[in-house]
Amino acid sequence: MDALAAIHQRASISKVKAAPLPRALVEELLSAAVQAPNHHKVRPWRFVVLSGAARQRLGAVMAESLRQRKPETPPEGLQAEAAKALRAPLVIAVGVDLPSEPKVVEIENICAAAAAAENLLLAAQALGLAAMWRTGPGASDPAVKAFLGLSPDQPLIAFIYIGYPEFELPPPERPGFADRTTWME
């Protein structure tokens, strides 16, 4: 699949098969991710690859995060929150390094990590996988970040859920660029 086809055909897919992905395929995704542009070549992205029982541990942390935020959540709500991490056989969390020198700017590191996340989605599309970028309130919780090895002030910008698609989707129809574009000559 060429790059433009992957870009135009990519769509968020929430339902995927439970079959695990081979390690080599996951490494292809990560390799695509790190081709993203990044100012000062600081490579500010951090990936945490969760599969198998690690997703259960993530789910438990997310449920506890919800319980802390909303103590009134009934047990079924907490169970549902914990189960979200099991929606795909692979979850890749994307964190961002904070600047460590004055010339490096936080927003640029976040942009670079977001570009890496998009590269990963496009690679998944090109490889016939289904993927979805998610965040949610748990992504700002220091306890969730700590579980992933991130410090409280490091942005956690994505949980990318990836698996083999349950079914083929038609190419998505999206609004065009015209109303978001100004041409200057």
Contact positions toward ligand FMN, by CB under 6 A? Answer: 11-12, 133-136, 172
Our CB check for ligand FMN shows the closer of 52 and 172 to be 172
Our CB check for ligand FMN shows the closer of 146 and 169 to be 169
Minimum distance between the CB of residue 163 and ligand FMN, rounded to whole angstroms? 15
Q: Which residues pair with 183 in a beta bridge?
A: none
Minimum distance between the CB of residue 140 and ligand FMN, rounded to whole angstroms? 12
Our CB check for ligand FMN shows the closer of 152 and 172 to be 172
Alpha-carbon span 5 to 181, nearest angstrom: 22
20 to each of 23, 51, 165, how far by Cα in Å?
Answer: 9, 8, 12
> Could you tell me which residues come within 8 angstroms of residue 21 by beta carbon, excluding any fewer than 6 positions away?
51, 89, 90, 129, 162, 163, 164
Minimum distance between the CB of residue 184 and ligand FMN, rounded to whole angstroms? 27
Q: Which residues pair with 132 in a beta bridge?
A: 161
Minimum distance between the CB of residue 77 and ligand FMN, rounded to whole angstroms? 17
Our CB check for ligand FMN shows the closer of 40 and 127 to be 127
User: Nearest CA to 164 among 71, 88, 106?
Assistant: 88
